[in-house]
Structure 1
Amino acid sequence: MRIRTAALTAAILCLPLTACGGSKDDDSISTKPKAESSSQAAPTGEAAEPADAAETVPPSEKPKAARIGDTITLSGQDDGEKLDVTMEKWLDPAKSADEFTTPAAGKRWVAVQIQLTNTGTTTYSDSPSNCVQAADTDGQRFDSTFGDITAGPQMTSDLKLPAGDKALGWVVIEVPKASKVATLQFTMNSGFADQTGQWKIG
């Protein structure tokens, strides 16, 4: 009886982590922009010709890192949550739309216009500004802040985006005047999802 119990205990301990939801890659960061559809298929009526791998992707050529204007596809915490996230425009500095909300002393506002496209199978609910973080060349990191700017409307703070729909808006970030922003990150589920998209600035 003791032998059977020991064997059963060993079997349980040897079960793969997938049983406990450990199949996801933790803290994965993607800098790969979504490929344009035109580059994925051969022209109509033409057969795709085999190409040497060395000719298609030169060994010395590094993969392209996402920049402003590029789209990164990300998955959320729940099944069916998937977004195409596009950093449409970058504004530095960003000007307040009124005299009541302004940057703190020694700080400035920067802003990014983001488009979210729900490519998943379920409604995505979130506060997108909580998903954004900026980093400067010194490694300092900054979260979003509230602020109306002259460039256009803010991204909604209470997004409920059905599958197939899009949302567009500006997210404002307060940084020190001397900081040079180097990258932007977007992580679904208010920053708690496993996947993070990263875009280079400049």
Structure 2
Amino acid sequence: MRRSRAPGRSRSAFAAVALLAPALLVPALLAAPGGSGETVSLTGDGPGQRLDVTLTQVVDPAAPARSSTPEPDGSDRLVAVRFHLENTGTADYEDSPAASAHLLDATGQRFTGLNLPTTAGPHFPDTLTLRPGGAAEGLVTFRLPKDAGPAAVQFALNGGFADDVGQWSLP
């Protein structure tokens, strides 16, 4: 499976390595470039879909914001990741940032983002619409096993299914 890439743009080799050799998953993941504060320009599957995505903060652990939200049961915890999104394309961005985001632990297990409010700050709505030039910032929450070590965060347009995937390694 080929991944689309802009000329001269460096992307993580994680996905390609994971498809070709799952046993190499952890070394590729730990060697992935990027870090908090780095902006990655991503394209979607439709014409004019382009988004600059910046990972700005990781809150680990994060506490649920409402009493109606189930508390972690002791075997798991919540991790909140703050993104800044800017529509740099010519088409409207209408998508779910939570479905577009994934967190990977040190063993390569992948966790999909949730629309679960925490006390870490404001979260994205279920569906976010940004006109060209528009920007938004918010949190995406992940539920991980208590002993899982977050290693990387991924983001892709089109509900996480676009071929162009941004990845940030976590310290």
TM-score over 0.5 (shorter chain): yes
Tell me the SS of whatever aligns to 2:63: coil
Corresponding position: 1:193 with 2:170: no
2:26 alignment partner in structure 1: none
- Determine if contact 2:84/2:137 at 8 Å carries over to the other structure: yes
- Output one character per residue of 1:127-161: Cα deviation in whole Å (capped at 9) or x when no partner: 11100011111111111123211111111211111
2:47 alignment partner in structure 1: 79
Based on CA coordinates, which of the two structures has the bigger radius of gyration? 1
Aligned Cα RMSD in Å? 2.2
- Determine if contact 1:95/1:149 at 8 Å carries over to the other structure: yes
Bigger RCO (CA 8 Å, 6+ sep): 2
Tell me the SS of whatever aligns to 1:190: coil
| C-alpha displacement of 1:27 | 7.0
Tell me the SS of whatever aligns to 1:189: coil
Q: Which runs of 4+ in 1 moved over 4 A?
A: none
2:60 alignment partner in structure 1: 92
1:88 maps to amino acid: T
Counterparts of 2:82 and 2:161, CA distance in 1 = 21
1:124 alignment partner in structure 2: 93
TM-score, L = length of structure 1: 0.69
Corresponding position: 1:156 with 2:125: yes
Tell me the SS of whatever aligns to 2:61: coil
Equivalent runs, 1:1-202 vs 2, <5 Å: 25-26=2-3, 30-31=11-12, 65-101=33-69, 102-202=71-171
Counterparts of 1:154 and 1:89, CA distance in 2 = 13
Tell me the SS of whatever aligns to 1:178: coil
- Determine if contact 2:115/2:125 at 8 Å carries over to the other structure: no
| C-alpha displacement of 1:191 | 1.2
Identity within the alignment, %: 38
TM-score, L = length of structure 2: 0.80
- Determine if contact 2:102/2:153 at 8 Å carries over to the other structure: yes
Q: Aligned residue pairs: how many?
A: 149
| C-alpha displacement of 1:103 | 2.4
2:83 maps to amino acid: I
| C-alpha displacement of 1:31 | 3.9
Counterparts of 1:119 and 1:97, CA distance in 2 = 32
